[in-house]
Amino acid sequence: MTISRREFIRLMGMAGAAGMLPASTFAAAKRPSDLYEIPKFGNVCLMHMTDCHAQLNPVYFREPSVNLGVGNAYGKAPHLVGNAMLKHFGIENNSIEAHAFSYLNFDEASRAYGKVGGFAHLASLVKRIRSERGNENTLLMDGGDTWQGSGTAYWTRGKDMVGACNLLGVDVMTGHWEFTYKDKEVIENIGEFKGEFIAQNIHLNEDAQFDYKFSEFSGYNEDDNRAFKPYTIKNVGGARVAVIGQAFPYTPIANPQRFMPDWTFGIKDDAMQEMVDQVRETEKPDVVVVLSHNGMDVDLKMASRVTGIDAIFGGHTHDGMPAPTVVKNPGGKTLVTNAGSNGKFLGVMDLDVRGGKVRDFRYRLVPIFSNQLPADHEMQSYIDNVRKPYKDVLEEKLAVAGETLYRRGNFNGTFDQIICDALNTVNDSQISLSPGFRWGTTVLPGQNITMDHVMDQTCITYPETYRREMSGEDIKLILEDVCDNLFNDDPYFQQGGDMVRVGGLDYVCRPNNKMGKRISNMTLDDGTPIDASKKYVVGGWATVGSKSPGRPIWDVVADYMRLQETVSIKKLNTPKLVGVDGNPGVG
Amino acid sequence: MSTDTKRRLFLKGTLASGVVALAAGAGLINPRQVLAAWPKSAFEAKSVSEAMKGIAGTDTAAGNDKITIKAPDIAENGAVVPVKVDATKISGVDSIAIIAEKNPTPLIANFKMGKSTHAFVSTRIKMGKTSNVIAVVSAGGSVSTARKEVKVTIGGCGG
């Protein structure tokens, strides 16, 4: 069942649309008649999209049921799931917002409310807001992870998304997966992008400084050694808005450095402070915001250390947060938002800016329900054209989903399990490892799994598979290393991905422990303990060191699916968690 | 003048400048050739304690917040980790040593400062695994330290 717009509005009236708003801020707000009636406020409207992962068409996307916070992050946004998250943000159970922001009742609610996202629907909303607020009073920011994540993005080397963003009218962006094309392609794509690409935290490394191959690139500054323009000043609603870019700090660690040999990244919060001070001093802005791909936990820490930022618009960790976190620092307060992923949301922050200062704000993370927002014709025909050459390949039906197939969550999702099972079956390995990315769309039970879905889950520029021997000790080392990227109690040591997915391997995980002490009781599927000194045949993909020799992962997964009519998992290799009882980050 | 003498003079005057650090990092200058009293045992020491005794005569130096170490939280490449040590807030610095706690031989470098030298060094060090980087600063007979953890990871799996 899919409900119509009219039916939807009726239901919304009944459910009480105010439920999506944090009770503290919006208790008195008048209940809007529909989800997209966003009351005007102030004079500056900043729109923010992030981590769409090249999803041009509407998709299903299940929010996580496990998103643990450890140490200081325990029980705080974004480490809240299910009912705990609804309660924290004052969202009514069983409402459309509860469906948008949580995994609860996912299949049924997905069937009722339909797909989310899609650039044509997003474009309608953006146009509506621009016309309501006045074009000159709005700015559209894109936090990155836009050029990667679909078959068409991969085959066009990100260009389909550059075109779509130009059509959407993105004013300013920063990046992460953008850098996983060849550096030459990154520079070319930025050249075709009509907005501005900014990043204060990417510099040339020492070798590149001697003879830089992109010395002619307009964003490069020889004096401060930055590879890209660090910030931009925009006139919005009569105010001077400074937007400082912060690219994903750990790109050359989380992704292959060979694609970006000349650039060095990092959090560089001291450089951020200098940049904020310099911008405030020389540009005299009314508003200073950061467009960040740090990930929410890193943004929260950065906001507590760096002063002079009004708001950080964050991404990377794919946390669809209905309201900003207000962070105190020695200079005042900074708002930290995170706008989800896969094109599912548009963040809308309205600011009242007067006398050179932000006086007040309103924020909403607006879910894009494609049944409730008309498709913008121009964008839809662009998307159809982009997909045309690849349509037959992408729409190949591989199998039927025997259950909900999803990825997002700290540990194995069901789609990850399929990938791991495919590796073990097709490549004949005992144990398989698959990266804990946070992108990848969801397939409902009974839905056809197409090549599109497989590409959504696997599409990277280093998709090659491997099959090699590893000792039990090596495998534990890998699990410990990745687990520390996730659960280190200092956010600056977190890389923002989830735990490595495993097939054919069970283990016990203690997230609150220190590195080296989190993983124990490793066994094969049949219960045989893993021996530290014994060798095991391990299959995997997405190696960040040197290129692996095997076929691309999507071919392996497609082969596995073609062998079956209905694809289900036999067993979910999710670890037994110890020490997380009562943690509101587990559903 | 022999090459070595030139190098020695060069080092004496401007040891702490970025240029020299760069040259040392790139392997152009071998400290063994240029330092008159090469503390062999310190550089071959297998523990932090031995290394510190070898260069500073003590392994119990207090922490000093006047020393700042600038290094990445997570190394992009463990083979070339950029490290900067700034001890300019301390007067009369005689030497700045850099130690990577968990390296098989922890002492990486010991920069001897000339009289009017700016107490700032910048170099790139090799680190096998996650560990503290320790700066040991000797000034007028007193020794103090600062430390910063640098993580060396296998990478991958980013969101």
> Residue A197: which CATH number?
3.60.21.10
Mean pLDDT of chain B: 81
Q: Does one domain contain both A188 and A329? A: yes
Q: What is the DSSP letter of A5?
A: H
Top residue of A50, A206, A341 to mutate, by most chain B CBs within 10 Å, is A206
Q: In chain A, pLDDT over 70 holds for what percent of residues?
A: 94
Q: Does one domain contain both A374 and A478? A: no
Residue where one domain finishes, among candidates A383, A406, A424: A383
In tens, the pLDDT along B41-96 reads: 899 999 999 999 999 888 888 999 999 999 999 999 999 999 999 999 999 999 99
What gap in Å lies between CA A342 and CA A61, rounded to an integer?
7
**Residue A29: inside a domain:** yes
Q: Does one domain contain both A167 and A80? A: yes
pLDDT at position A9: 46
**Residue A390: inside a domain:** no
Q: Residue written as tokens 């001890």?
A: B87
**Residue A389: inside a domain:** no
User: Is A544 in CB contact (< 8 Å) with chain B?
Assistant: yes
User: Is B153 in CB contact (< 8 Å) with chain A?
Assistant: yes
- Structural domain span for residue A18: 5-383
**Residue A330: inside a domain:** yes
Taking Cα atoms as reference points, which of B13, B29, B25 lies closest to residue B112? B13
**Residue A583: inside a domain:** no
Would you place residue B11 in the very low, low, confident or very high pLDDT band (cuts 50, 70, 90)? very low
Taking Cα atoms as reference points, which of A169, A102, A68 lies closest to residue A340? A102
pLDDT at position B60: 87
Indicate the number of domains in chain A. 2
pLDDT at position B40: 86
- Helix orientation angle between A159-168 and A183-192, rounded to the nearest 10 degrees: 20
Give the β-pairing of A576-577 and A505-509.
parallel
Would you place residue B30 in the very low, low, confident or very high pLDDT band (cuts 50, 70, 90)? low
Q: Does one domain contain both A27 and A74? A: yes
How far is the alpha carbon of A177 from chain B, nearest alpha carbon, in Å? 9
CATH number of A422's domain: 3.90.780.10
Q: Which residues of A touch B124 (CB under 8 A)?
A: 206
Environment class of A282 (CB within 10 Å of its CB; exposed 0-12, middle 13-18, buried 19+): exposed
Q: Does one domain contain both A153 and A249? A: yes
Q: Does one domain contain both A255 and A141? A: yes
pLDDT at position A532: 97
**Residue A388: inside a domain:** no
pLDDT at position A316: 98
Q: Does one domain contain both A121 and A42? A: yes
Give the β-pairing of A397-401 and A448-450.
antiparallel
How far is the alpha carbon of B73 from chain A, nearest alpha carbon, in Å? 7
Query: Are residues A437 and B159, on separate chains, in Cβ contact within 8 Å?
Result: yes
Could you tell me how far CA A38 lies from the centroid of its own chain?
A: 24
Residues 82-101 of B with CB under 8 A from A: 82
Q: Does one domain contain both A342 and A469? A: no
* Beta-ladder partners of A362: A350
Q: Give the DSSP H or E segment for A379.
A: helix A377-387
Q: Does one domain contain both A373 and A430? A: no
Q: Which residues of A touch B158 (CB under 8 A)?
A: 176, 248, 250-251, 253-255, 435, 437, 495-497
Residue where one domain finishes, among candidates A362, A383, A404: A383
Would you place residue B133 in the very low, low, confident or very high pLDDT band (cuts 50, 70, 90)? very high
List chain A residues with pLDDT less than 50: 1, 6, 9-32
User: Is B79 in CB contact (< 8 Å) with chain A?
Assistant: no
Over 90: is that where the pLDDT of B32 sits? no
Q: Does one domain contain both A351 and A306? A: yes
Residue where one domain finishes, among candidates A383, A414, A432: A383
> What is the pLDDT averaged over residues B122-128?
94
Higher pLDDT among residues B40 and A527, named by residue: A527
pLDDT at position A369: 97
Cβ neighbors of A28 (< 8 A, separation 6 or more) are none
User: Is A483 in CB contact (< 8 Å) with chain B?
Assistant: no
Query: Are residues B157 and A317, on separate chains, in Cβ contact within 8 Å?
Result: no
User: Is B19 in CB contact (< 8 Å) with chain A?
Assistant: no
User: Is A300 in CB contact (< 8 Å) with chain B?
Assistant: no
Q: Does one domain contain both A409 and A355? A: no
Q: Which residues of A touch B72 (CB under 8 A)?
A: 266
**Residue A54: inside a domain:** yes
Give, rounded to a whole angstrom, the gap between the first and last alpha carbons of chain A: 27
**Residue A586: inside a domain:** no
What gap in Å lies between CA A420 and CA A10, rounded to an integer?
44
User: Is B154 in CB contact (< 8 Å) with chain A?
Assistant: yes
Query: Are residues B157 and A498, on separate chains, in Cβ contact within 8 Å?
Result: yes
Q: Does one domain contain both A468 and A531? A: yes
pLDDT at position A391: 97
